A and B are shown apart, each in its own frame.
Chain A
Amino acid sequence: MPTLTIDGQQVTVSKGATIMQAAEALGIYIPRYCYHPGLRVAGSCRMCLVEIEKAPKLDIACYRQAAEGMVVHTTTEPVKLARQSILEFLLSNHPLDCPVCDQSGECDLQNFYMEFGLYQSRFLENKIKRRKAFPIGRHVMLDNERCILCSRCVRFCEEVSRSHELGIVNRGDRSEIALREGSQLDNEYSGNVIDICPVGALTEREFRFQCRVWYLNRAASVCPGCSRGCNIELHYNVNRPHQSGGKRVLRLKPRFNAEVNKWWMCDEGRYGFEFIDAPSRLQDFEIRTAQRTVVASREQAVQTLSDWIGDSIDRHGSQSLGIFLSPKLSNEDLYGIGKFARHVGIDCLDFRNPSERPGYQDDFLIQADKNPNTRGCLELGLYRRSEDSGGWMAGEIQRGKVRVLIVFLQDLALAPEFQQVLGRLERLVFVGSNRNGTAEIASLVVPSATYAEKDGSFTNFEGRAQRFERAVVPLGSAVAEADLVASVAVSFGMQREEFERERLLSDLRREYPFFDQEALNPPELEWVYQTPIGQERL
């Protein structure tokens, strides 16, 4: 356990820790390009040079191990001069495309240059020309001129995705990043190279020119793409809607969580946000009769729903009501719905869509269960334990027992069991964010808010409940599911306050000790990126 001094502060680190890690522990930031905490040390960029007393020359902090009694300086003149020289060297062949470069605003070449740059160019030679702006995979664009050869992307493909697509070819100032002969960068995790590339050499094809990054705001969230629940940041543009054609959520970035996803996320999750601003979003309450569909106000819709529920209970008892939940609902929404169901005595509940098949799975992040909150549904017990799929509810409808069915998000019309019987229902209510086959035939359609539009939490497959926060306002008249239930529940003698977000969460934690978890405390935003991008400023 060596103890060392960095910039006058003492710190004790575990044996084998580097100066970089020791500095990090003290909250001292040492500029770096090639070093990434999730990758092997390369020690190639020399940006992290620091002064160590009694050492003959400057040494790199990312590789040099901390030793007992070491005295390190990170802000002295020799260190600043070294940084300046490294930057001058990196810029000697750099195109300075900043006006057209998607990275500008979150580029470490820009950032460090602002701090340590030389500003007066001494370069008279011609810059080396290379291939610019060409796709190297489904999601990634490469610009060889902008690359500073830090090799982060190469190491990522070797160590994390283990797909070995990238390498550095040629020598000297002709070195450049290239794809392995005949391959494309299209592994399941390719998007991460965009995040770790410190400059604009690797940029995102989907995000390309959609918005300048300093207009983006961000919210801490959890990826709803599979039951891993990778921690993410939602980057959204509400400052300059014209730039991205009105689309609000523009990209997802992984958020560091040592226990869940570290620094990474998969491509399927990364690009799975399109539905938030898709044309298929439901924006109005719709009441459908055999003849026509009318757009209703929220009050009308809530009244209608309350009437149908009340009427069905009066005539056939609460057994005549069924609720088909979704493992894409948050814990709070599920709990709120469950609370109401218990209050009026509905016990015909399930969430397991019989038409759903397990998807692709690997041994890293991707889980076969493509729902973010299956575990939450299970822990809340919102299903019939004696059955192993939700198909039994089709039988109940068939037998005429269930007459009014409320479906959340799921497309039951896809499941053969349900296809036959949905027509037999007296009322079919669909609550969901996007239009699907079930919404088409429902007699009442309620637009609901997506995970980007409300606060909540998902429980991942390991049982870790994780909070996500609201980024944008619900589109059109969309409402969060628990809010809808709250409005209905008041007609059945419940208090609206019981359905407030924080109340739901605290009740949930009290009633189900399983949910009393650290991770449910409000998320602390610990940004993966050094550069804080514009918050509300512009």
Chain B
Amino acid sequence: MSRPKDAMNRLRDPEALSFWQRTYVPEILRGLKLTAAHFFRNLLIHIFHLAGLWKDRRGAETVQYPEEVRGYSPRLRSLHRLTKRDDGSPRCVACMMCETICPARCIYIVATEHPDPNIEKRPASFDIDLGKCVFCGFCVEVCPEDAIRMDTHILNFAAYSRQEMVWDINRLLSNEPQRVEGIGEIRKVK
């Protein structure tokens, strides 16, 4: 039985359904068949796995996070980092654009004088309260200096206290960008 292209439209308009479709019984049975087929296939493959066979075939499609992860897309918004100048100091000039745009109001910057008058301004402190951040990425978009990015691919920064969720300038500067490879590929985490 081929799937009708306009199945969704048909569901919205019961008049367009055939008699058997309107009884739902064949459709339910069709769904059960699909699920059951996967169940027995996976069961079989897992049994073979136990016996040390068929290791190249996945038992189930579920990604076994955190033992396994998939390769993240480069557009994924992950933990922030502050980018650095050649001398290792932050690129950030404490313009407060990110603090202003942040819808969660979770960026706290204190500005101070930069010794070089051609740079003029730098952050004395730069805190992001990740407990409040909604990972919208506005801060990255708005930054005129490319000083803040969300390309670390770090997602597991949970902490035991609210205070530990506040990342200060040193922690943010120490984050490194993650090279993107194998988008969508499932990898075992060692």
Stretch of A56-64, A206-214, A319-327, A470-478 at the chain-chain interface: A206-214
Which residues of chain A are within 8 angstroms of B108 by Cβ–Cβ distance? 240, 242
Q: Is the CB of B121 within 8 A of A132?
A: no
| Complexed CA–CA distance, A100 and B121 (Å) | 6
Interface string of B130-160 (1 = CB under 8 A from A): 0000000000000011000000000000000
A243 in the interface (beta carbon within 8 A): yes
| Complexed CA–CA distance, A99 and B118 (Å) | 12
Which residues of chain A are within 8 angstroms of B94 by Cβ–Cβ distance? 100, 209
A133 in the interface (beta carbon within 8 A): yes
A97 in the interface (beta carbon within 8 A): yes
Q: Is the CB of B93 within 8 A of A100?
A: yes
Which residues of chain B are within 8 angstroms of A212 by Cβ–Cβ distance? 95-96, 100
In the assembled complex, how far is the CB of residue A511 from the closest CB belonging to chain B, in whole angstroms?
49
Which residues of chain A are within 8 angstroms of B16 by Cβ–Cβ distance? none
Which residues of chain B are within 8 angstroms of A243 by Cβ–Cβ distance? 96, 109-111
Main secondary structure of the interface of A (DSSP, over half): loop
Q: Is the CB of B113 within 8 A of A208?
A: yes
Q: Is the CB of B118 within 8 A of A132?
A: yes
Q: Is the CB of B100 within 8 A of A538?
A: yes
| Complexed CA–CA distance, A99 and B95 (Å) | 5
Task: Kindly identify which residue among A209, A214, A240, A242 contacts B113, using a CB–CB cutoff of 8 Å.
Answer: A209
B31 in the interface (beta carbon within 8 A): no
B184 in the interface (beta carbon within 8 A): no
B117 in the interface (beta carbon within 8 A): yes
Q: Is the CB of A134 within 8 A of B117?
A: yes
B112 in the interface (beta carbon within 8 A): yes
Q: Is the CB of B97 within 8 A of A214?
A: no
Q: Is the CB of B119 within 8 A of A242?
A: no
| Complexed CA–CA distance, A212 and B99 (Å) | 10
Task: Kindly identify which residue among B96, B109, B117, B145 contacts A133, using a CB–CB cutoff of 8 Å.
Answer: B117
Interface string of B97-109 (1 = CB under 8 A from A): 1011000000011
In the assembled complex, how far is the CB of residue A123 from the closest CB belonging to chain B, in whole angstroms?
19
Which residues of chain A are within 8 angstroms of B111 by Cβ–Cβ distance? 209, 243
Q: Is the CB of B100 within 8 A of A132?
A: no
Which residues of chain B are within 8 angstroms of A100 by Cβ–Cβ distance? 93-95, 119-121
| Complexed CA–CA distance, A242 and B111 (Å) | 10
> Contacts A99-B93, A209-B112, A209-B113 given: A240-B99 contact, CB under 8 Å?
yes
| Complexed CA–CA distance, A240 and B107 (Å) | 10
Please, could you name 22 A-B residue pairs with CB atoms under 8 Å apart, sorted by A? A98-B95, A98-B144, A99-B93, A99-B144, A99-B145, A100-B93, A100-B119, A100-B120, A100-B121, A132-B117, A132-B118, A132-B120, A133-B117, A133-B120, A209-B111, A209-B121, A214-B100, A240-B108, A242-B108, A243-B96, A243-B109, A243-B111
Which residue numbers of B lie inside 8 Å of A, CB to CB? 93-97, 99-100, 108-113, 117-121, 144-145
A-B pairs, top 5 by smallest CB distance, nearest first, are A99-B95, A133-B117, A100-B121, A209-B111, A100-B120
| Complexed CA–CA distance, A134 and B113 (Å) | 12
Interface string of A151-178 (1 = CB under 8 A from B): 0000000000000000000000000000
User: In chain A between 219 and 249, which residues have their CB closer than 8 angstroms to a CB of chain B?
Assistant: 240, 242-243, 245
Which residues of chain A are within 8 angstroms of B120 by Cβ–Cβ distance? 97, 100, 132-133
Which residues of chain A are within 8 angstroms of B109 by Cβ–Cβ distance? 243
Q: Is the CB of A242 within 8 A of B95?
A: no
CB-nearest residue of chain B to A210? B111
| Complexed CA–CA distance, A212 and B96 (Å) | 7
Q: Is the CB of A99 within 8 A of B110?
A: no
User: In chain A between 82 and 101, which residues have their CB closer than 8 angstroms to a CB of chain B?
Assistant: 97-100
Q: Is the CB of A99 within 8 A of B113?
A: no
User: In chain A between 117 and 144, which residues have their CB closer than 8 angstroms to a CB of chain B?
Assistant: 131-134
Listed residue (B99, B111, B145) with the most chain A CB atoms within 10 angstroms of its CB? B111
In the assembled complex, how far is the CB of residue B108 from the closest CB belonging to chain A, in whole angstroms?
5
User: In chain A between 349 and 407, which residues have their CB closer than 8 angstroms to a CB of chain B?
Assistant: none
CB-nearest residue of chain B to A102? B121
Which residues of chain A are within 8 angstroms of B117 by Cβ–Cβ distance? 131-134
Which residues of chain B are within 8 angstroms of A240 by Cβ–Cβ distance? 99, 108
| Complexed CA–CA distance, A209 and B144 (Å) | 17
CB-nearest residue of chain A to B111? A209
In the assembled complex, how far is the CB of residue A266 from the closest CB belonging to chain B, in whole angstroms?
27
In the assembled complex, how far is the CB of residue B111 from the closest CB belonging to chain A, in whole angstroms?
4
In the assembled complex, how far is the CB of residue B29 from the closest CB belonging to chain A, in whole angstroms?
59
| Complexed CA–CA distance, A122 and B145 (Å) | 22
CB-nearest residue of chain B to A240? B99
| Complexed CA–CA distance, A212 and B108 (Å) | 13
CB-nearest residue of chain A to B145? A99
In the assembled complex, how far is the CB of residue B145 from the closest CB belonging to chain A, in whole angstroms?
7
CB-nearest residue of chain A to B147? A99
Q: Is the CB of A99 within 8 A of B119?
A: no
- Known contacts A99-B145, A132-B117; 6 additional CB pairs below 8 A are A98-B95, A100-B94, A133-B120, A208-B113, A242-B110, A243-B96
